[in-house]
Amino acid sequence: MARIRPERVSWGPIDAVVLGSVAVAACYGFPNLLWSGSIESAQTYFLRTLVISLWLFVPTVMWLRTVRKAPLAQHWLPADTVLRDAVVGVQLALIFAVVNGIGIKLLFERPFDQPAGEMFRVMRESYGTWDISLLVIGVAVLAPVAEEVFFRGMLYPAMRRYMGPFQAVIFNSALFAIAHGRNRAWGTFLLGLVASIMMEYTGSLVVPILLHVGTNFAFVAFLVRQGQLARTMPMWLLMLIFVVMNVHLFLAGKLLFGARERPESPSGADPGATGGAAPRTAHGTD
């Protein structure tokens, strides 16, 4: 399963402690300091999301660039696999979007109480184009990019280096869920689990970011206007889309990832070579 290249993992516990403090301040310190009361509008929620996202993203990038001298594009966006990662990311984003739609539709149709929390209330009470646009930009664009840069781009490789991939996936997902509060704990844990696994397998942030963007975008789309979209879209259509997208993901994954590992030629064979080509060394492989 391990696909992260060793040269991409150059930070460790000190980085996690420093930027972990930044994360705690971003998720719990600044929101309570700047907005001690309840959030009453989409504009206020957007500003809150903007502050949290910038406070996660900017210190992380600055730390890795100035202290660790890390070439971030090579660490997070490997050019040789970006197209493959984008295809897989879009597929997973669509699946998680449909799952969100099914879950939110059930919230409005079943007789149990809807989740409490300011975020749910603000989204359900947003009707105008301006309010919805702010929610999409803040929740579906800024927050996913900043959170994935921090949790999967910085924290996950540091945890993996000292825990191993399995433990790092579990603990990274758990921290991701804790940072989002108990109202969304299981959903965010599942999202973090898939994002961490894809980060491990691809060594790229493309899949986690697209997955997170698609999930949050569907969350906003199905909740705004008192869940109008969730109420009007029939359940059978959501289930059909879910099945089709999973089949499509299986076929796309088999095509894209199956071609990644090519069988080595038999010992002594030199296919396609007219001269004595030097054998590949382990240094050039993932």
| Residue 192: half-sphere exposure toward Cβ, Cα within 13 Å | 27
What are 109's two structure tokens? 């149709």
State the alpha helices, DSSP H only, in the chain: 13-24, 30-34, 42-66, 72-76, 82-109, 118-124, 129-137, 143-148, 156-163, 165-179, 185-202, 206-232, 235-258
How far apart are alpha carbons 224 and 79 in whole angstroms? 37
* Per-residue pLDDT tens over the stretch 110-141: 655 555 567 777 888 888 888 889 999 999 99
How far apart are alpha carbons 189 and 215 in whole angstroms? 13
Longest dimension (CA), the chain: 75
DSSP 62: H
- pLDDT (average), residues 25-37: 62
* Per-residue pLDDT tens over the stretch 140-192: 999 999 999 888 988 888 888 778 889 999 999 998 988 887 777 788 899 99
CA distances from 265 to 183, 256, 275 (A): 53, 21, 16
More confident residue, 257 or 211: 211
| Residue 178: half-sphere exposure toward Cβ, Cα within 13 Å | 10
What are 83's two structure tokens? 């197209």
CB atoms within 10 A of CB 9: 16
Residue 144 backbone dihedrals phi, psi, to 5 degrees: -60, -45
pLDDT at 3: 55
Average pLDDT in the chain: 77
CB atoms within 10 A of CB 218: 23
Least reliable range by pLDDT among 49-63, 67-81, 90-104, 167-181: 67-81
Is the per-residue pLDDT at 40 higher than 50? yes
What are 129's two structure tokens? 């184009």
Sign of the C-alpha dihedral, residues 85, 90, 91, 93? positive
Is the per-residue pLDDT at 275 higher than 70? no
How far apart are alpha carbons 212 and 283 in whole angstroms? 33
CA distances from 123 to 26, 135, 139, 241, 275 (A): 22, 8, 10, 24, 66
Q: Kindly report the length of the chain.
A: 286
Is the per-residue pLDDT at 243 higher than 80? yes
Predicted structure pTM score: 0.80
Instruction: Give residue 10's pLDDT band: very low, low, confident or very high (50, 70, 90).
Output: low
- pLDDT (average), residues 235-254: 84
